[in-house]
Each structure stands twice: as structure tokens, then as C-alpha cells.
Amino acid sequence: MRPLTEEETRTFFEKLSKYIGENIKLLLDRPDGSYCFRLHKDRVYYVHEELMKRAASVSAPNLLSFGTCFGKFTKTQKFRLHVTALDYLAPYAKYKVWLKASAEQQFLYGHHVMKSGLGRITENTPQYQGIIVYSMADVPLGFGVAAKSTQECRHTDPMTLVVFHQADIGEYIRNEQELT
Amino acid sequence: MIQTRIKEVLHVLSDFKDRHEPGKARQEYLQQLKTDLCTYYSYNEYLMEKLISLFPHEIVDFLEANEVPRPVTIRTNTLKTRRRDLAQALINRGVNLDPIGKWSKVGLVVYDSQVPLGATPEYLAGHYMLQGGSSFLPVMSLAPQEGETILDMSAAPGGKTTYIAALMRNTGMLFANDANKERAKAVVGNVHRMGITNTVISDYDGRTIPDVMKGFDRVLLDAPCSGTGVISKDPEVKINKDDADIKKCSHLQKELLLAAIDCCNAKSKTGGYIVYSTCSVMVEENEWVIDYALKRRNVKLVSAGLDFGKDGFANFERFRFNPNMKMTKRFYPHTHNLDGFFVAKLKKFSNKIPGQENKDPSAKLGELGTFFKSEGDDDKSDDNTEESKTVESPAKEESKGSPNKKNPKEDNKSGSPNKKNPKQDNKPNKPFKKGKNPKYRFGKNKKFKSK
């Protein structure tokens, strides 16, 4: 376990800001204690500092997880957000999209979202913007990237893709082994 | 035919004096009953004998209860939703459910469902956990408080862990451990799905945890067991358990329970409690284990804090346990419609370990933290490398390695050719003066002798 290097921090924050913009600082300055990001086995964990100190006494090979896992660095030093970060992305999300009940299940199986399944979308979403996906009951389902801007969405036919799938909570079942 | 014979025998046994055939002993009836039950319910004889001695009157009820599955139960994740909202959402999906009973405010029992309960969007969003009703009990008994430091020693798949975290409202610290790495991964998934942020997950062997950290306010040990309480879930148990398996389980449980007690901090302001539970009905894995711990550590039994269930056995066959053993609780499939379960709550009243107060100084430090033995060793090994750097030839090393006090003359001799750095000369000798590293010294002596 170690703090992120400067370069890692940059890559990581760049990725994170695609979804929550400048709200990152809300993650770091919290009224209920100081939180920090730590790297362990290529994964980035967001954790209360007290808990981090205690977790440090667990030897590295035996430590599986602490706090919340945000994602991992790939072998090429890119950062991939995991669905486990959703709890922190959803409340701070800048751009959101709501899915109709019929499209919900499709998205949870890892499919992209088509125009026909689109319930609502934040105004002025630019193309290729990181976006959080909700059900109509306001339950966060995952996140992805807007394939079309809000303007373009209005005029496309129902079968075009509007959101590219990146992660969804269905992965808790499909992909449990890969989360750690 | 066997069934009618079982009924007849039971009928006779219920009033043996009047109903038995003259000249036929009780033993014969019992033997007959045992073999019949073994064939009818397909158990092995060893297990059946144990069960009959546990349930002399209700044996058939117990065996029948093992043939039917327990109801599916779910636990609301109070961190994300409320039970009423969850129930409504699930009813809308075509699930037929009810509150589990008066004793739990978060449990729901599911009668039937049109959708797979383990894959609804609500499940994936972490609004509930599929969890046997009986596994609520040890957590309720543990009664975790906000802000405490708690250890869950055998956590997988995380049902109890997430319940503890929910009761702590995500404050304090929770350490979830499971010896099996693959199963511990399920804990990671469940903890993240349920939105729990105060948890550290590790895969130590439970018996080694006291070496890693101590000073927990509360410890939950849901020990690995033979599974004789959950035969309805895993019928294999009926035939593949024998005496050796039970003994093996019991032995491991004793070791784990002592480790759990050692992890706990008796001086904790709010806690100092250890809860031990198994999904077994065997006395060997339950009361016997607790009795063992009572004799070896400074712990006492306290009320489990559960207002139903049957009392544990204070006496059983050849066993004579601590009279407080009736404070433990047992749960049976046929009486409570829960899995067979055992819960005991212990209060630790002193951090001293009887019989080894002087041996282990770290046991007295009731603080959480690192007690890496290797840390001290590292320092020494550093010194050693330093020494090997300063030493130029093996001959000099030997002369230096000899203890200073015994033959100062020799030391002086060896010191004189090494004029370059007389100050450093002392440094490498330090570990010997302290005499902390007998292994190293032994190595030196060996060389000495060989020469």
C-alpha cells in the first residue's frame, strides 16, 4: 500500500473528473474526517485515514481490500474505474441519464443504451462525456460515456446507441472475481 | 413399511412400561429405531446415534425438518433503504413476502417469487442481502456499537459482516477475515455492493490474527463446522461425517476461539465481547468448545441477548460443563424454523492469559497495531549486513565475533590490525552484547569450533 505518485494522481483525477468534474475536491475535503487515496496491488482505494493506518498493519499479500475500491491501473498505466466507485460517483455526477424500465435489464447485462431505452438525460450533455446511468426510480445502475450529445439525441432514430456501457452493477454477479 | 415400524416403536417407547412386548428390552427397541431411521432418512449410523442422544423425543421432527428447505430470507440494508420501501419495491416485481418475525426489524421472509431474488436491480444496488434467518442471530447477539473496532474472523460470504457494518452505520472499523481467498472475494463484492466503507478485508488463517493485530472491542467468530444444523441445505452431511470429522472441527474451533479471545481487548470501554456461533447442533462443536475456552482464558459467559431459542446444555452425557452454559442459545429447524444454530456470548475480563503472564509481553498491550515480530528481526539483520561490510576477511570476522567480555585480550589483538575504523568496530558487536540473537551467535561458535 502506498500513496499515488504524481503521475498516477494526474491520470486518476483526469479520469475521475470526466464523471464528477471539480467535485473531486468534495471527496478530499470532507467534514467527517480526512480521507485519502491509496494504491494497493494496482488498485486505488478511497479510505478514511484512520482505517488506512490500521489496514497498513495487514501484510500486503493478505490484504484484499480496504475502504472503497475506485478502480485499477492497467498494465499500460491507464486508469479504469470499477463499478465499486459508483457510490461516490453517483451523488456528485454532473451528467446523468435515466433509463426506462424496459432498458434497465439490458444495461445490467452489459449492453449499450439505445435511444429507445432512454428515459431522460441531463440538458447540454456534450458528446463523449462521462455519464452516470440511473433507473427511473433514481437507483444508480452504472456509468458510461455519452455517444451522442443531448441535441443529437433528440433527432436520431430509436435504434442508435446513445450511451456506451462502461460499468454496471450487474458486474457484482457476472464479474465478482475481478473486482479485487 | 419402515415408516409404520418407526411409528410403532416410537409409540411403544413413549410409554415403555405398559406397551412393550414382554421379554423385549428397551435396548432392542432403540436399536431397531436407529437402524430404521438410518435407512428411511439415509443417514450414517454415527450421526444418527449422536442426533438421537441430542433429541431423544423429537428425533423424527428434527429429521423431517431436515427434509424440507428453510424459507428464503433477506435482510434489508439499512444503509441504503428502509424495509418498508424495499418490501414495496419487491412486491411490485411479483415477490410474495412478509416480515420475518418480531425479533428482527430488518428481515423479510420470501414465500415465492417470479424473479430470481439474487439478480433483481434492487439486489444489485445493494438494497438487500440474501441471508439465512439464523445468521442474523450472532450479529444481534454481538450488538455492535457505532465507532467501535470489530473483527469478523470467518466472514465469507459477508452476510454477517455487512449486517455488522450496517448496525455500526459505517462508522468505526470493521475487519473481515476469511482464510479462503476465493471465498473472501465474495466478501469484497458484497461489501462494495452494500455500500460499506469502513471495512478491511484480509485472508489470514484465523489462528494467526492475534500476531497481526489485537485490541478489538468485539469479535465475532462464526466458526467453520460440520454443518449438522444445515442438513436441509447440504444433505451430503448425512453420510459423510464421522467421529474424526467432528473431532477435527472441534479442535480447529477451539484454536480459533482462543485466537478470537486473544484479539479482544478486555479494557474496551464499550465492549470486550466475543460471540461464538456455529451452524452445528453437536455438543462437541459448541458447549465443549466454550467450556474449553472458559478454562483457558479469562472470559465468562454472559447472556446471549436473544430472547428466544433453547438454552445450551450444562450437562450432556459424559460432559459436565460450566453451569453458566445455559446462557448460550441453541436454535433448531423443527422448533424455530431456522437452521440449526448455536450462539454463545463471552465477556473478557482480563487481558492476561492464564499460565503465560510473563511469557508474552505483547499480550498485555491492549492496543490495536502492528506487532510484527519481524520488525525487531529486521533491525538485527541490518546490523549483520553492516558488519559483513566492515569485515574484510573471515579470520577477522571470527575474532570479532567472539564475545568481548570473556577474552578482552583477544579482542584487542583483533582490534589492532583493524585500525582503519576503530569506532565502527564496536557497532557490529552490539547485537552480541545484548545477547538477543542466539541463532547468530550459534553460527559463530560453530565456525569457531570447526577451526
Can you give the three-state secondary structure of B252-269, one letter per residue? HHHHHHHHHHHHECCCCC
Residue of chain B whose Cα is closest to the Cα of A88: B195
The single-letter DSSP state of residue B172 is S
Which of A89, A114, A134 is the C-terminal boundary of a domain? A89
A23 plus A80 within the same structural domain: yes
B268 plus B185 within the same structural domain: yes
A55 plus A124 within the same structural domain: no
Chain A residues closer than 8 Å to B378 by CB: none
Q: How far is B213 from chain A (nearest CA, A)?
A: 7
B338 plus B422 within the same structural domain: no
- Region for residue B126 given its phi and psi (left: phi exceeds 0; alpha: psi -120 to 50; beta: otherwise): left
Tens digits of per-residue pLDDT, B189-225? Answer: 999 999 999 999 999 988 999 888 888 999 999 999 8
Q: Cis bond leading into B157, ω under 30°?
A: yes
Q: Is B80 within the bounds of a domain?
A: no
Q: Do B189 and A108 touch (CB under 8 A)?
A: no
Return d(Cα B291, Cα B288) in angstroms, integer: 5
CA nearest to A146, candidates A159, A165, A129, A134: A129
Which of B12, B37, B66 is the C-terminal boundary of a domain? B66
A123 plus A48 within the same structural domain: no
If contacts are CB pairs under 8 Å, which of residues 355-384 in chain B contact chain A? 368-370, 372
CATH of residue A115's domain is 2.30.130.10
B282 plus B430 within the same structural domain: no
* pLDDT (0 to 100) of residue B427: 43
Q: Is A15 helix (H, G, I), strand (E, B) or coil?
A: helix
**Chain pair A-B, CB pairs under 8 angstroms:** 101
CATH of residue A16's domain is 3.10.450.220
Asked whether B48 and B30 are in contact (CB, 8 A), the reply is no
B332 plus B416 within the same structural domain: no
**Does B87 reach chain A within 8 Å, measured CB to CB?**
no
* pLDDT (0 to 100) of residue B449: 44
Q: Is A179 within the bounds of a domain?
A: no
B160 plus B39 within the same structural domain: no
B153 plus B282 within the same structural domain: yes
Residue of chain A whose Cα is closest to the Cα of B216: A54
Which of B328, B348, B368 is the C-terminal boundary of a domain? B348
What's phi and psi for B173, nearest 5 deg? Answer: -140, 140
Chain B residues closer than 8 Å to A106 by CB: none
| Cross-chain CB nearest to A169 (options B89, B124, B175) | B124
Which of B92, B193, B216 to mutate to probe the A interface, most A CBs <10 Å?
Answer: B193
pTM: 0.80
| Cross-chain CB nearest to B188 (options A50, A135, A180) | A180
Chain B residues closer than 8 Å to A59 by CB: 212
| Cross-chain CB nearest to B188 (options A47, A51, A65) | A65
**Does A118 reach chain B within 8 Å, measured CB to CB?**
no
Neighbour-count burial for A82-93, b at 16+ CB within 10 Å, e otherwise: bbbbbbbbbebb
A66 plus A119 within the same structural domain: no
Return d(Cα B78, Cα B166) in angstroms, integer: 6
* pLDDT (0 to 100) of residue B129: 92
Residue of chain A whose Cα is closest to the Cα of B375: A57
Return d(Cα A84, Cα A69) in angstroms, integer: 6
Residues of chain B where predicted confidence (pLDDT) is lower than 50: 360-361, 363-451
**Does B200 reach chain A within 8 Å, measured CB to CB?**
yes
CA nearest to B293, candidates B248, B353, B335: B353
Q: Is B22 within the bounds of a domain?
A: yes
Is the ipTM here above 0.90? Answer: yes
Chain A residues closer than 8 Å to B368 by CB: 54, 57
Q: Is A1 within the bounds of a domain?
A: no
Give residue B145's domain range: 132-348
- HSE of B117 in the Cβ direction (CA atoms, 13 Å)? 23
Neighbour-count burial for A159-180, b at 16+ CB within 10 Å, e otherwise: eeebbebbbbbbbbeeebeebb
CATH of residue B307's domain is 3.40.50.150
Tens digits of per-residue pLDDT, A29-67? Answer: 888 888 889 999 889 999 998 899 888 888 888 899 999
A14 plus A84 within the same structural domain: yes
Q: Do B121 and A65 touch (CB under 8 A)?
A: no
Residue of chain B whose Cα is closest to the Cα of A178: B185
Start-end of H helices in B306-421: 333-336, 373-390, 394-401, 408-415
| Cross-chain CB nearest to B197 (options A58, A67, A139) | A67
Query: What torsion, rounded to 10 degrees, do the Cα atoms B129, B134, B135, B138 define?
Result: 140
The residue-averaged pLDDT of A100-114 equals 89
Q: Is B123 within the bounds of a domain?
A: no
* pLDDT (0 to 100) of residue A165: 92
Structural domain count, chain A? 2
A46 plus A60 within the same structural domain: yes
Chain B residues closer than 8 Å to A105 by CB: 121
A85 plus A155 within the same structural domain: no
Chain A residues closer than 8 Å to B212 by CB: 57-59
Q: Is A112 within the bounds of a domain?
A: yes
* pLDDT (0 to 100) of residue B368: 45
A43 plus A11 within the same structural domain: yes
If contacts are CB pairs under 8 Å, which of residues 151-170 in chain A contact chain B? 169-170
A58 plus A125 within the same structural domain: no
Asked whether A69 and A38 are in contact (CB, 8 A), the reply is no
| Cross-chain CB nearest to B185 (options A46, A87, A176) | A176
Asked whether A107 and A142 are in contact (CB, 8 A), the reply is yes
Give the dihedral sign, CA A82/A83/A86/A89: positive
Residue B282, burial from CB neighbour count under 10 angstroms (0-12, 13-18, 19+)? buried
Residue B390, burial from CB neighbour count under 10 angstroms (0-12, 13-18, 19+)? middle
Asked whether A126 and A146 are in contact (CB, 8 A), the reply is yes
* pLDDT (0 to 100) of residue B218: 92
Helix (H), strand (E), coil (C) string for A85-116? HHHHHHHHCCCEEEECHHHHHHHHCCCCEEHH
| Cross-chain CB nearest to B124 (options A66, A69, A170) | A170
A78 plus A20 within the same structural domain: yes
Residue of chain A whose Cα is closest to the Cα of B127: A139
A17 plus A83 within the same structural domain: yes
B216 plus B297 within the same structural domain: yes
Q: Do B181 and A64 touch (CB under 8 A)?
A: yes
How many helices (H) and strands (E) in chain A?
Answer: 7, 11
Q: Is B333 helix (H, G, I), strand (E, B) or coil?
A: helix
Chain A residues closer than 8 Å to B149 by CB: 54
Catalytic residue among B38, B225, B264, B279: B279
Return d(Cα B169, Cα B165) in angstroms, integer: 6
| Cross-chain CB nearest to A172 (options B181, B189, B372) | B189
Q: Is B279 a catalytic residue?
A: yes
Asked whether B183 and B158 are in contact (CB, 8 A), the reply is no
B170 plus B267 within the same structural domain: yes
Give residue A156's domain range: 93-174
**Does B211 reach chain A within 8 Å, measured CB to CB?**
no
Which of B348, B380, B397 is the C-terminal boundary of a domain? B348
B138 plus B256 within the same structural domain: yes
Which of A38, A59, A89 is the C-terminal boundary of a domain? A89
Tens digits of per-residue pLDDT, B424-441? Answer: 444 444 444 444 444 444
Q: Is B353 within the bounds of a domain?
A: no
B315 plus B427 within the same structural domain: no
Chain B residues closer than 8 Å to A170 by CB: 119, 124
Q: Is A180 within the bounds of a domain?
A: no
A66 plus A14 within the same structural domain: yes
Structural domain count, chain B? 3
Residue of chain A whose Cα is closest to the Cα of B173: A51
Which of A66, A89, A112 is the C-terminal boundary of a domain? A89
Q: Is B392 helix (H, G, I), strand (E, B) or coil?
A: coil
B30 plus B171 within the same structural domain: no
Q: Do A58 and B202 touch (CB under 8 A)?
A: yes
